[in-house]
Structure 1
Amino acid sequence: MNGSQDEGSAALDTRVHAILARAWASLSPQSAMLAWLDWASHMAVSPGRQADLAGLALSQAAQLAGYLRECLMAGPGAARACVEPPAQDRRFDAPEWRGWPYNLWHQSFLMAQQWWAEATRGVRGVERHHEKLAAFWARQWLDMLSPGNHLLTNPVALRRTAEEGGANLARGMLYLLDNQRRRLTGLPPEGAEAFEVGRDLAVTPGKVVLRNRLIELIQYAPATGQVRPEPILIVPAWIMKYYILDLSPHNSLIRYLVAQGHTVFCISWKNPGAAESDLGMEDYLDLGFRTALAAVEAIVPGSRVHATGYCLGGTLLAMAAAAMARDGELDRLASLSLFAAQTDFSEPGELALFIDESQLALLEAQMQDKGYLRADQMAGAFQMLRSYDLLWSRVVNEYLLGERRPINDLMAWNADATRLPARMHAQYLRRLFLDDDLSEGRYPVDGRPVSLGGLTLDTFCVGTVTDHVAPWRSVYKLHYLCPAQLTFVLTSGGHNAGIVSEPGRPHRRYQVLARPAGGHYIAPQEWERTAPAHEGSWWPQWQAWLAARSGPAQPPPGMGAPARGYAALCDAPGTYVKEK
């Protein structure tokens, strides 16, 4: 037999895989089982490694016994901890965890974390992807068993219960029931109704000047009497709604740029359904960026464009710019700016844990069944990447302590999720994440491969310190993919909060260093050690960089260009952004 499969049997397999995906929250059980089998079978034939781990366990037991002895002699508060949690782990910060027996429980838990972190790495013969998966799933199980997650082993929750006579647990039960009701009925989180798109969010004045099957293009109204002649075209990710860049008036990047005298255009992607299941990456390039760029050039004729991309929109923009360089059209752009956007996917961070053949087979079957991937079908993976922050801290605060965290504009935006067309998402995961075709010069645009080595535009690139979606060292790899003058910024915060980092926001800092065109490569460790650090927002740094590559101010262009087919269709934020 060959590897072909007839239509009926293929449809049956697809259906079964789709059912399996629903049962396992879109996560492949085979992928996890293969990782554990690889790890366990190689551990079984590694007596030296077993001896090392046994020695570590005995050493930890001795440390714990010494800690217990010190607690009995000097008192729990005076005893020196055996192990301190990582800086970002706040589970055991409360002073109640220093009391007996909770001190012993949380120290035992932290030691178990240390032991499993050591046990799941360095086993000879284990495939690297399986090693990472085994470590990841070990962390998930340990996080679930943390003494902080359970009423009887959490001293803070027990004290609150005693003080309130159990009222906190009653509130927690009501919150649990309400959360389940909202999840089952598709309602947003409690408090999200206070943030309405077009009323509270995405309120920067503007007009929709283009609409097609995939995008609406928004042109924002000028806020100054004179503007820079080169417009800015923003390409946001379609895995999220564009108004992450136009949140509340005080933290809107788009409003900030307009106030600094820039003419700003932004793509608003359609929220796709079954009718858009056939849209692929080429459609996002043609109906998206290329169509928008042509409209901007018609509305602001004779000016080059500052092209800006965020997240997956930045990846698409890099593809488009590489194709323009290949075809001799790069002079249409004045500069390139990429925010938290990967172009090399060889080390994409923990998100790669959920991208292998087994996982993709499950996702593709699930998408083929509906024609698209719902946002909640991706939520499980993203939630587990930050299981403490996104899952267990909520369990403790809401259900044990009876405290519901007030929702803010960023959280309301995060709950306003989008879908992904089946064809596009499969191409994206396979060709970029799994095969890394873009960085290796194999990704085709218009039937011919593109190379990032052709990018010679001045480029501004931003990475964020705690990004779990596009780790900054992965974003940084653009340094050895293209020879352009490259200004790299590393800012505090994560994938979203690091970009939404308005001037005046406290506890913000960034590093910045520019590499000249054709300059020598600097490894990320050396860059981090030598790049000057600054307090505050990186936005003014970028705005000054844009201004240095722009011409003298002049009167603003009109809103749209009716004579060229770009009449104002409706007020911003448009209609696509409101699609559910």
Structure 2
Amino acid sequence: RIKSATFFTTQVDFKQAGDLKVFSDEEQIRAIERDMAQRGYLDSSKMATIFNLLRSNDLIWPYIVNVYQKGQEPLPFDLLYWNSDATRMPAANHSFYLRRCYLQNDLAEGRMEFSGTQLDLSRIAIPVFHLAAREDHIAPPHSVFSGAGRLGGSVTFVLAGSGHIAGVINPPSRGRYQYWTGGEPEGSLETWLEHAEEHPGSWWPHWQTWIEAQDRRWVKPRRPSAGKLTSIEDAPGSYVRAQ
């Protein structure tokens, strides 16, 4: 049923998962599990704090110095508003993810099973568009590159400028950053970059060209209000005001 797939800053091989590995040993995972057992989920603020700690010079200290100590009003930044809308993680889901991926790397190394079926990444043979971000501190580009190389089909690997969020959300109208294209994700990322071609601006048009190469048919956009369920309220919804 799935003819092609696109992955944005997605890890499947956690051997080079970056600084998050610092928080992913047995002792710390047990502590997280004990905390989640009290409520059944990982509180969204704790996950957001971990991500901020990975880039504390950018995401923590400027606000302490400029806002708390100097009394300056923080500049409005739409991506940070979006980023602060964190999500609670169900305890069972998060525990499985930390142990089987970060701690044991079972998915990439072929030890993960669901309902008796062993997952084998090399059997994924559909065309795949795999995007990594060069300054990504959550899904480091080396980790994404390594995972992309484990897939069995044709993989179009693209490296975007900037980080985990801005590297993906980069409309062509802004004319910002750059991206690199090259061959299949083989060998090391450094070697791949030596032969890659740098392009100015957004990677979105390159992705559009790739999508149209898979299938040029267009479909009408989905209308949520046309389904069986009625709309509750207009976006963004009252939940965003919940404390």
Q: Determine if the TM-score, normalized by the shorter chain, exceeds 0.5.
A: yes
Letter in 2 for 1:539: W
Q: Does 1:492 align with 2:161?
A: yes
Unmatched 5+ residue regions in structure 1? 1-331
- Indicate how the Cα distance of structure 1 residues 480 and 416 shifts in structure 2: closer, same or farther if over 3 A, else same: closer
- Indicate how the Cα distance of structure 1 residues 393 and 558 shifts in structure 2: closer, same or farther if over 3 A, else same: closer
Structure 1 equivalent of residue 140 of structure 2:
471
Cα offsets for 1:486-506 (capped at 9, x unmatched):
111111111011111111224
Q: Does 1:510 align with 2:179?
A: yes
Q: Does 1:556 align with 2:216?
A: no
- State the shift of 1:414 in Å: 1.6
Q: Does 1:455 align with 2:119?
A: no
- State the shift of 1:408 in Å: 2.0
> Which of 181, 203, 213 pairs up with 1:538?
203
- Indicate how the Cα distance of structure 1 residues 355 and 557 shifts in structure 2: closer, same or farther if over 3 A, else same: closer
Matched residues in 2 for 1:577 and 1:438: separation? 35
Structure 2 equivalent of residue 480 of structure 1:
149
- Indicate how the Cα distance of structure 1 residues 417 and 432 shifts in structure 2: closer, same or farther if over 3 A, else same: same
Structure 2 equivalent of residue 364 of structure 1:
33
Q: Does 1:569 align with 2:238?
A: no
Task: State how 1:326-475 maps to structure 2 within 5 Å.
Answer: 332-475=1-144
Q: SS at 1:462's partner residue?
A: strand
**Bigger radius of gyration, 1 or 2?**
1
- State the shift of 1:400 in Å: 3.4
Cα offsets for 1:95-139 (capped at 9, x unmatched):
xxxxxxxxxxxxxxxxxxxxxxxxxxxxxxxxxxxxxxxxxxxxx
Q: How many residues align?
A: 241
- Indicate how the Cα distance of structure 1 residues 461 and 370 shifts in structure 2: closer, same or farther if over 3 A, else same: same
Letter in 2 for 1:389: D
- State the shift of 1:559 in Å: 4.4
- State the shift of 1:575 in Å: 6.2
Letter in 1 for 2:19: E
Matched residues in 2 for 1:401 and 1:433: separation? 39
Q: SS at 1:533's partner residue?
A: strand
- State the shift of 1:417 in Å: 1.8
- Indicate how the Cα distance of structure 1 residues 434 and 558 shifts in structure 2: closer, same or farther if over 3 A, else same: closer
Letter in 2 for 1:567: K
Matched residues in 2 for 1:486 and 1:576: separation? 41
The structure whose residues are more often helix, as a share, is 1
- State the shift of 1:530 in Å: 1.0
Task: State how 1:230-241 maps to structure 2 within 5 Å.
Answer: none
- State the shift of 1:406 in Å: 1.7
Contact between 1:462 and 1:490, CA under 8 Å: does it hold in 2? yes
User: TM-score, length-normalised on structure 2?
Assistant: 0.90
Matched residues in 2 for 1:356 and 1:394: separation? 30
- Indicate how the Cα distance of structure 1 residues 427 and 545 shifts in structure 2: closer, same or farther if over 3 A, else same: same
- Indicate how the Cα distance of structure 1 residues 529 and 558 shifts in structure 2: closer, same or farther if over 3 A, else same: closer
- State the shift of 1:402 in Å: 2.8
Matched residues in 1 for 2:122 and 2:239: separation? 35
Task: State how 1:244-283 maps to structure 2 within 5 Å.
Answer: none
Task: State how 1:50-199 maps to structure 2 within 5 Å.
Answer: none
- State the shift of 1:394 in Å: 1.7
- State the shift of 1:405 in Å: 1.9
- Indicate how the Cα distance of structure 1 residues 546 and 352 shifts in structure 2: closer, same or farther if over 3 A, else same: same
Q: SS at 2:182's partner residue?
A: strand
Matched residues in 2 for 1:537 and 1:490: separation? 11
Matched residues in 1 for 2:169 and 2:221: separation? 27
Unmatched 5+ residue regions in structure 2? none
- Indicate how the Cα distance of structure 1 residues 388 and 437 shifts in structure 2: closer, same or farther if over 3 A, else same: same
- State the shift of 1:444 in Å: 1.3
Matched residues in 1 for 2:240 and 2:62: separation? 31
User: TM-score, length-normalised on structure 1?
Assistant: 0.39
Matched residues in 1 for 2:94 and 2:55: separation? 23
Cα offsets for 1:269-292 (capped at 9, x unmatched):
xxxxxxxxxxxxxxxxxxxxxxxx
- State the shift of 1:579 in Å: 8.4
Q: SS at 1:346's partner residue?
A: coil
Q: Does 1:529 align with 2:198?
A: no
Matched residues in 2 for 1:434 and 1:579: separation? 36
Q: Highest relative contact order (Cα 8 Å, sep 6+), 1 or 2?
A: 2
Matched residues in 1 for 2:162 and 2:119: separation? 32
Of all paired residues, the percent bearing the same amino acid is: 35
User: After the TM superposition, which segments of 4 or more aligned residues of structure 1 sit over 6 Å from their partners?
Assistant: 574-577
Structure 2 equivalent of residue 182 of structure 1:
none
- Indicate how the Cα distance of structure 1 residues 512 and 568 shifts in structure 2: closer, same or farther if over 3 A, else same: farther
Structure 2 equivalent of residue 202 of structure 1:
none
Cα offsets for 1:43-90 (capped at 9, x unmatched):
xxxxxxxxxxxxxxxxxxxxxxxxxxxxxxxxxxxxxxxxxxxxxxxx
- State the shift of 1:447 in Å: 2.6
Contact between 2:11 and 2:143, CA under 8 Å: does it hold in 1? yes
Matched residues in 1 for 2:36 and 2:30: separation? 10
- Indicate how the Cα distance of structure 1 residues 572 and 456 shifts in structure 2: closer, same or farther if over 3 A, else same: farther
Contact between 1:485 and 1:514, CA under 8 Å: does it hold in 2? no
Contact between 1:431 and 1:443, CA under 8 Å: does it hold in 2? yes
- State the shift of 1:578 in Å: 4.7
Letter in 2 for 1:372: Y
RMSD (Å) for aligned C-alpha atoms: 2.4
- Indicate how the Cα distance of structure 1 residues 439 and 548 shifts in structure 2: closer, same or farther if over 3 A, else same: same
Contact between 2:176 and 2:202, CA under 8 Å: does it hold in 1? no
